[in-house]
Amino acid sequence: MKHNTTFADFPIPLGAEWLHVDTSIFSEIVNDSSVNITTSTQGYQKDDVVGYYDGTYTTYTLSRLFGNFEDKKFINSSWLDFFETYIVPHIQSHFTFNSQITRINYEGGQVMVTDNNNQIYQASKVIVTVPLKILQENTITFTPPLPSSKQDIIQDAPVWGGIKVFLEFKENFYPTYLTFPDSETKTGQRLYYDAAYAQSSSKNILGLFAVGRQATPYQNLSGTAQLDYILNELDLIFNGKASQNYVKHIVQNWNDEPYIKAAYLADNAPLKTSRTLSSSVQNKLYFAGDAYTQENDWGAVHNAIQSAIDAVTEMV
């Protein structure tokens, strides 16, 4: 989760953006009926316009193209806002920053966790929430090594890279969503969307979301070349209006984040992948995060939450 609060007059969600499940998940996360949760969301309308471009630009209603669409936008807030408001204040005193974990030794009675400053932390049990791509790069040395079945699934797991770009324009010339033939495939996803949808904003902000192979053309470029590529793509569809109305933009390439290096476990990963990734080791190491789930779903904030609940339940 990450957001920018200076680009527009509402938080720009550079990471997790939508709520994919019922709003009751907020109460489940807070787990305290005395807390008044004021986070607001808004779903999409069935007659919202969805554009489709395959060489010819066509528009459809959202209900026709997406069917029963349950995604919701946060109103003038974000997933990060929610956690910083309702969760972080209760646990922040236990945070340690600038402490990259390099070794986890679980061969003795206590688990010894060592960071890059050679600071050692001890616990009887540890929950590992390291992004999957970091585990794939063997950044952390486990002693003894993780079971071969777990090592194999870590290395074989398909992980999508990801990028988000937000562009401000002087006028709104685009639909609620803009899709393509490759908007959802086995190798990745991409689409443009009205990022200011449901916000109390006068800004015209268009978002680009791309993961997997579809993210690569955007990630292979930077600076002016990247911006030109995006504007040219939009100009082709909207008769030059993108370049005519461009104001500014912001980019979040998740592959460039040094302690994340990707977006998330691919949507089409084998069902056994997330379950094996989430399996505990010797009743000492437990795994939690959006890729480490015990359900046939992964990659979203609500999956990470359920994964954490499952890990703690098993641990205690």
141 within domain boundaries: yes
59 within domain boundaries: yes
Per-residue model confidence (pLDDT) at position 163: 99
Tell me what the mean pLDDT of segment 52-67 comes to.
Answer: 96
91 within domain boundaries: no
74 within domain boundaries: yes
Tell me what the mean pLDDT of segment 290-314 comes to.
Answer: 95
Single residue among 227, 256, 285 that ends a domain in this structure: 256
Domain residues for the domain of 42 are 3-85+159-256
Structure tokens at 48: 């919202």
Single residue among 256, 287, 304 that ends a domain in this structure: 256
Which candidate, 47, 83, 125, 51, places its Cα nearest to that of 285?
Answer: 125
105, 241: one domain:
no
Give tens-digit pLDDT for 218-265. 999 999 999 999 999 999 999 999 999 999 999 999 999 999 999 999
Report the CATH number at residue 224: 3.90.660.20
23, 139: one domain:
no
Q: How far is CA 23 from the centre of its chain?
A: 18
264 within domain boundaries: no
75, 186: one domain:
yes
54, 125: one domain:
no
63, 114: one domain:
no
118, 222: one domain:
no
The type of residue at 140 is I
219, 294: one domain:
no
Per-residue model confidence (pLDDT) at position 295: 87
Report the CATH number at residue 142: 3.50.50.60
283 within domain boundaries: yes
41, 80: one domain:
yes
Residues in the chain: 316
Give tens-digit pLDDT for 61-88. 999 999 989 999 999 999 999 999 999 9
Average pLDDT over the chain, rounded to whole? 97
Is the pLDDT at 276 greater than 90, yes or no?
yes
Structure tokens at 235: 């100009």
**Confidence tier at 121 by pLDDT (50, 70, 90):** very high
Percent of the chain with pLDDT over 90: 98
Structure tokens at 68: 């029963």
90 within domain boundaries: no
Single residue among 235, 256, 277 that ends a domain in this structure: 256
Give tens-digit pLDDT for 132-145. 999 999 999 999 99
Per-residue model confidence (pLDDT) at position 240: 98
101, 81: one domain:
no
261 within domain boundaries: no
The answer to whether the CB of 74 falls within 8 A of the CB of 83 is: no
289, 169: one domain:
no
Give tens-digit pLDDT for 5-27. 999 999 999 999 999 999 999 99
- Residue 122: φ, ψ to 5°: -120, 145
Total structural domains within the chain: 2
Which candidate, 73, 251, 237, places its Cα nearest to that of 166?
Answer: 251
175, 246: one domain:
yes
* pTM exceeds 0.85: yes
36, 56: one domain:
yes
